[in-house]
Structure 1
Amino acid sequence: RHDPPCVWRLLRCMCTVEAPDVVYVWSAAEVMAVHPEGLHCLLAAGAVPQILGTLMAVKGYTNMYQSRIAAIALLSKFLWNPVKGGEAAAMLRRFIPEPLVIVLREKAGNASLQILDAVCEHPEMIWTAEMQGELRHALQDLLASSSSGAIGKASSTPIEEDPECFSAPPLLPPEYAVKYRQIAGEIFVGGVYIRLYLKQPTFRLSNAVFFLEKLVEFWDSSFNIQVPRQNANSKIGAFSVDNASDSRAVVLGNEDFLSLLTSCMVCVVKGESSVIEHLITWGFVHTLPGLLQRALRAGRRGTPMVSVVRMLFQLTARSEVVDNLASAKVDPIEQLTLALQEDDTVPKDATIVVELLKRIFQTAYCRFMDQFVAMALRVNLPSVLLNKILGATKEDLAHVANASALRIHTVDCLKAILAAGDPAALAQLQALLDLHPAWREFKHQSHDLFLTDKEKADVYLIQDASDAKFAGLLTNGTASQSLGEMFSDQQYQNSSGPLAGDKFSGSPFGAPLLAASTGGLGAPARPVSSAQQAPPSVPTRPVSANMAPPARAPPSVPAPHIPVQPSGHSGHMAADVRRASLPGAPLAPAPPPPVPDAARRMSMPATAPPPVPTTAAPPAPRKVYVTTFVEKGEHGLGLDLGKAKTGHGQVLRFKELPPGVVNPASLCNPPILIGDIILGVNRTRCDTLSDAVKVIRGATGPIELTFEREIF
């Protein structure tokens, strides 16, 4: 600290000396990087580009295998530093793509070196020979100009012959970053390049839950921009006007982008059906009928309406989803019936709507099928299907996509309603069908063999997988950023750590789309409840429970997802909240929706008496769930815990530590608040205070805490 020349001499020895004993110098640098002050000095001396120069075989730098292995290990030490690791990660992202930063943190040693030297191009990583060359040339220009004092102006003395070349750190302007041509137009969401994922939908994701979480957040934001809430005080509406020129607003407000996100979510659910339980826990399924109602009322019968219907169609393959829809605040059957009534014509996308209705009524083991049949009869769904589809001529359906399949699905839907209804409903519906002339032609036919493979294909997914979808995302010719740059300041942070967010109000998933504190577009929200600016975060790939198909372990604690606004720069390493929900049994399963007696009797409900005026009650506190990481230090977590009324552990206060010692609990992002109730530690359910203390005492390193918090 008090002798800066020793740092650059240390770097010069590490990066230029080719001798077996140089490994001891690298070991000394690792010891130095463990301490925040030592890592700060190394970063200030330009250690990151100098070490990358060794890894990328820049001219004048050693390329010994022992030195390269030591360089990988040292960068991993940088990223794992609990205080300065986020700063090191932010510096590293200026040179290499985010997936490589994650790999360097996870796989120190030969595994990382092999990935760095190899080439690969799949949905989770793009690293080609061209990109390696671009990094090598950028480092060579930067390091050669460090002694001359200006970027782009190389020193006349070679690095290996200039003893003072390391004395001045490389000059990096605030906007400096290595430009990679191949990823300039890629959108990186939740650790996945979505263009490549749509081309390889069967790719086995290493973190399907986290990817789906990010997709839901961006899907929610894009839908809210395209179909704003009808509220004068809505932040969505204000944002759409004030930031109409923002390039990212152009992308999020583009219907093609919403369709791309929908296709990605459909592929994730197809490949990992267990993620449906997370969507139910997050409340996403429960809000889809309401979003469909908003799209219909706003007249957005194009991509917004189709996106909601596609999600419902993919999710209703599971009976628990259909049961969950029965308790939705908005009648899903009524909204789907309205979606089929576009003036006097059948809408273009009527086929998928009718196929969704058929799938709902054909659901086996549905506990509330009588309720769905009652909904269908109440809104005259059978009459709509008979008059507008079966009774229509070929000319009337000429504009409908896949009109032949539409008739087949309509007949199957009517037969499914007949099979699902109780005797009273069956008699009522059968009488209606017998009187309609169009029904006689179809009632005795089986149409299973009428559907060809072409008609069964997902045309929306095929369209979204084309490069034309991505090429047409940016329609604002004045935009100065590529797609990759446009989302890099958000998605790179999202994939590596949490960002601050606040003001949970009105959003279907817990938080509305908020404008970023930096003045740019607010990306989808994250599970944080503080508006404080987060310090930089160390990137980390979530463990494979979150990355392989999410297994359900009984002792794990799921933390319901609360999307939060990513804004600013990456957060602290201890705040890595990549997994907003943990696989496992739900904390509190929602009670099954009641079946009204009127629906059972297939009769209209009686008129309710007028409401009795009451005084307005104060708003009740709302519970949210927050997951964060704390680096356990010499003095523990820095928290005093007590017993809550429920018996769980509760945060009473922050400990007062000796002078000069930073309380690790104060570094968390999302922050820990006094009064938080501990539900789980390291993905283990803790029902009592003693359970939480026992798990904390037996854990080492970063500890994952799941809290329940009340907000007003």
Structure 2
Amino acid sequence: EEIPMQQRAAAASLLGKLAGQPMHGPRVAITLARFLPDGLVSAIRDGPGEAVVSSLEQTTETPELVWTPAMAASLSAQLSTMAADLYQEQMKGRLVDWDVPEQPSGQHVMKDEPQVGGIYVRLFLKDPKFPLRNPKRFLEGLLDQYVSSVAATHYEANAVDPELPLLLSAALVSLLRVHPALADHVGYLGYVPKLVAAMAYEGRRETMASGQDTSRAQAEPIEHDNSDGVPETTVQTPQERVRLSCLRVLHQLASSTTCAEAMAATSAGTPQVVALLMKAIGWQGGSILALETLKRVVGAGNRARDALVAQGLKVGLVDVLLGILDWRAGGRQGLCNQMKWNESEASIGRVLAVEV
């Protein structure tokens, strides 16, 4: 039987009021989330009811919501079956202790799509400027899952998708580019030391695994130009790709003074960021990023700049920078050649070395 539009909208409005109720609203929202995706639960909470009904009948594919009329029909059939079964039990005169299912219906879940904080990560990467309802929640979820996924690869290499850390780091960088103010929040949450430690660990792990054929078997080829301008193909191991993802995240965070100051904070047993970035200058595909990150962290606005300069002097950073600038020592036959820079990269590297 077709339910009038007015009644459907009124029901959606009532659910929205219940979900927004201070005391019991969170429980109502959790119950709704067992049947509907987070995007629709948020739409119900925000209202109005007419907009909710319209959303249920449309095909939607955004970072926050994937929904089709077929999914709506499937959910409707499931709810009808549940209601009919409950009615039959009641007609038998039994006292039914009924509760909603613990697991979601499964009709709206995209099992192959990583979802963080109610956001489909791959769909977000397709449209990073999509206006998220709660970008801070997405950021916190990305940070937590990224650090966890990197740590999981240390112990469960065969059980963890090696692409997951790369996907999450790409989403982190894109989110911070669109919402640069969120970078300060990362510093306040205390994730900067964890990211520095993860990058340092991956660097050590790659060194230990560099001679193993198993690492090279999973490596990804990349191309660069040699001194004659002819493309050469090298490979990146999973460890190299993960450590570069850490570097990209730190590079983006270094634009925040709060995060740059957090990078300068060291304690016993923790890696020093300047020494780590100096080592990263020699990483394939990471040298320019490392130099740019160094430039950002020693910016004039960083109150911990003196500590970073002291770290640089201690580990011989000045000699490395001078080596990059010296055409005879750092040019085609020197550091630039060792880092497999082409002419353009060598020019950029020298400019960054001067700025650092």
Shared fold, TM over 0.5 = yes
After superposition, residues 95-114 of structure 1 pair within 5 angstroms as 95-114=35-54
**Amino acid of the residue matched to residue 71 of structure 2?**
M
- Give the % identical residues: 26
1:307 aligns to what? 245
Instruction: State the Cα deviation string for residues 132-167 of structure 1 (Å, max 9, x = none).
Output: 233234345555565667xxxxxxxxxxxxxx79x9
In structure 2, do the counterparts of structure 1 residues 144 and 121 end up closer, same or farther at CA, with 3 Å as the change threshold? same
2:182 aligns to what? 275
Structure 2 counterpart of 1:357, from 294, 298, 306: 294
Structure 2 counterpart of 1:333, from 263, 267, 274: 274
Separation (CA, whole Å) in 2 of partners of 1:370 and 1:412: 22
Instruction: State the Cα deviation string for residues 557-601 of structure 1 (Å, max 9, x = none).
Output: xxxxxxxxxxxxxxxxxxxxxxxxxxxxxxxxxxxxxxxxxxxxx
**1:316 to partner: Cα distance:** 1.7
**1:84 to partner: Cα distance:** 5.8
SS of 2:242's equivalent in the other structure is helix
Is the CA contact (8 Å cut-off) linking 1:288 and 1:312 kept in structure 2? yes
Instruction: State the Cα deviation string for residues 506-527 of structure 1 (Å, max 9, x = none).
Output: xxxxxxxxxxxxxxxxxxxxxx
1:93 aligns to what? 33
SS of 2:181's equivalent in the other structure is helix
Separation (CA, whole Å) in 2 of partners of 1:218 and 1:377: 35
Instruction: State the Cα deviation string for residues 86-134 of structure 1 (Å, max 9, x = none).
Output: 5544443333222212322332533333333333221112222332233
Structure 1 counterpart of 2:352, from 413, 427, 451: 413
> Are 1:262 and 2:169 an aligned pair?
yes
Is the CA contact (8 Å cut-off) linking 1:146 and 1:168 kept in structure 2? no
> Are 1:224 and 2:151 an aligned pair?
yes
In structure 2, do the counterparts of structure 1 residues 392 and 377 end up closer, same or farther at CA, with 3 Å as the change threshold? farther
Separation (CA, whole Å) in 1 of partners of 2:42 and 2:310: 52
Separation (CA, whole Å) in 1 of partners of 2:102 and 2:132: 32
> Are 1:76 and 2:3 an aligned pair?
no
Is the CA contact (8 Å cut-off) linking 2:264 and 2:307 kept in structure 1? yes
**1:282 to partner: Cα distance:** 1.4
Unaligned residue ranges in structure 1 (runs of 5+): 1-59, 150-163, 228-239, 418-712
In structure 2, do the counterparts of structure 1 residues 218 and 64 end up closer, same or farther at CA, with 3 Å as the change threshold? same
**Amino acid of the residue matched to residue 335 of structure 1?**
L
Structure 1 counterpart of 2:117, from 184, 187, 190: 190
**Amino acid of the residue matched to residue 263 of structure 1?**
A
**1:257 to partner: Cα distance:** 0.9
Is the CA contact (8 Å cut-off) linking 2:330 and 2:336 kept in structure 1? no
- Structure with higher helix content: 2
Separation (CA, whole Å) in 1 of partners of 2:60 and 2:120: 13
2:126 aligns to what? 199
Larger Rg: 1
After superposition, residues 108-187 of structure 1 pair within 5 angstroms as 108-143=48-83, 174=101, 177-180=104-107, 183-187=110-114
Is the CA contact (8 Å cut-off) linking 2:147 and 2:195 kept in structure 1? no
Is the CA contact (8 Å cut-off) linking 1:357 and 1:413 kept in structure 2? no
SS of 1:202's equivalent in the other structure is coil
1:321 aligns to what? 259
After superposition, residues 415-564 of structure 1 pair within 5 angstroms as 415-417=354-356
Separation (CA, whole Å) in 2 of partners of 1:219 and 1:110: 38
Is the CA contact (8 Å cut-off) linking 1:223 and 1:258 kept in structure 2? yes
Is the CA contact (8 Å cut-off) linking 2:31 and 2:100 kept in structure 1? no
Structure 1 counterpart of 2:135, from 208, 215, 221: 208
Per the normalisation by structure 2, the TM-score is 0.73
**Amino acid of the residue matched to residue 326 of structure 1?**
A
Separation (CA, whole Å) in 2 of partners of 1:216 and 1:176: 26
Larger RCO: Structure 1 or Structure 2 (Cα < 8 Å, ≥ 6 residues apart)? 1
**1:263 to partner: Cα distance:** 1.2
Is the CA contact (8 Å cut-off) linking 1:269 and 1:314 kept in structure 2? yes
Separation (CA, whole Å) in 2 of partners of 1:127 and 1:196: 13
In structure 2, do the counterparts of structure 1 residues 148 and 260 end up closer, same or farther at CA, with 3 Å as the change threshold? same
Unaligned residue ranges in structure 2 (runs of 5+): 208-238
Separation (CA, whole Å) in 2 of partners of 1:324 and 1:395: 30
After superposition, residues 395-410 of structure 1 pair within 5 angstroms as 403-410=342-349
Aligned length: 318
SS of 2:71's equivalent in the other structure is helix
**Amino acid of the residue matched to residue 265 of structure 1?**
L
Separation (CA, whole Å) in 2 of partners of 1:410 and 1:110: 57
**1:289 to partner: Cα distance:** 3.0
2:192 aligns to what? 285
In structure 2, do the counterparts of structure 1 residues 340 and 127 end up closer, same or farther at CA, with 3 Å as the change threshold? same
**Amino acid of the residue matched to residue 276 of structure 1?**
A
Instruction: State the Cα deviation string for residues 502-550 of structure 1 (Å, max 9, x = none).
Output: xxxxxxxxxxxxxxxxxxxxxxxxxxxxxxxxxxxxxxxxxxxxxxxxx
**Amino acid of the residue matched to residue 269 of structure 1?**
L
In structure 2, do the counterparts of structure 1 residues 404 and 314 end up closer, same or farther at CA, with 3 Å as the change threshold? farther
Is the CA contact (8 Å cut-off) linking 1:99 and 1:124 kept in structure 2? yes
In structure 2, do the counterparts of structure 1 residues 136 and 274 end up closer, same or farther at CA, with 3 Å as the change threshold? same
Is the CA contact (8 Å cut-off) linking 2:147 and 2:194 kept in structure 1? no
Instruction: State the Cα deviation string for residues 437-476 of structure 1 (Å, max 9, x = none).
Output: xxxxxxxxxxxxxxxxxxxxxxxxxxxxxxxxxxxxxxxx
**Amino acid of the residue matched to residue 103 of structure 1?**
A
Instruction: State the Cα deviation string for residues 23-59 of structure 1 (Å, max 9, x = none).
Output: xxxxxxxxxxxxxxxxxxxxxxxxxxxxxxxxxxxxx
Per the normalisation by structure 1, the TM-score is 0.39
After superposition, residues 246-257 of structure 1 pair within 5 angstroms as 250=159, 253-257=160-164
